[in-house]
Chain A
Amino acid sequence: QVQLVQSGAEVKKPGASVKVSCKASGYTFTDYYIHWVRQAPGQGLEWVGRIKPSSGGTNSAQKFQGRVTMTGDTSISTAYMELNRLTSDDTAIYYCARGSGVTVAGLIHSWLDPWGQGTLVTVSS
Chain B
Amino acid sequence: DIVMTQSPDSLAVSLGERATINCKSSQSVLYSSNNKNYLAWYQQKPGQPPKLLIYWASTRESGVPDRFSGSGSGTDFTLTISSLQAEDVAVYYCQQYYNSPLTFGGGTTVEIK
- A residues lining the B interface (CB < 8 Å): 35, 37, 44-47, 59, 61-62, 95, 97, 100-101, 104, 107-118
Contact = CB atoms under 8 A, between A and B. Distances in A.
Given A45-B93, A104-B33, A112 B103 contact: no
Given A112-B50, A113-B61, A115-B50, A47 B106 contact: no
The majority secondary structure among interface residues of chain B is: loop
Nearest 8 A/B pairs, CB to CB: A115-B49, A113-B52, A111-B40, A47-B102, A45-B104, A111-B55, A61-B101, A109-B97
Overall SS of chain A's interface: strand
Interface of B: 31, 33-34, 38, 40, 42, 49-52, 55, 61, 93, 95, 97-107
Contacts, number: 63
For A37, A46, A95, A111, the residue with the greatest tally of chain B CB atoms inside 10 Å of its CB is A111
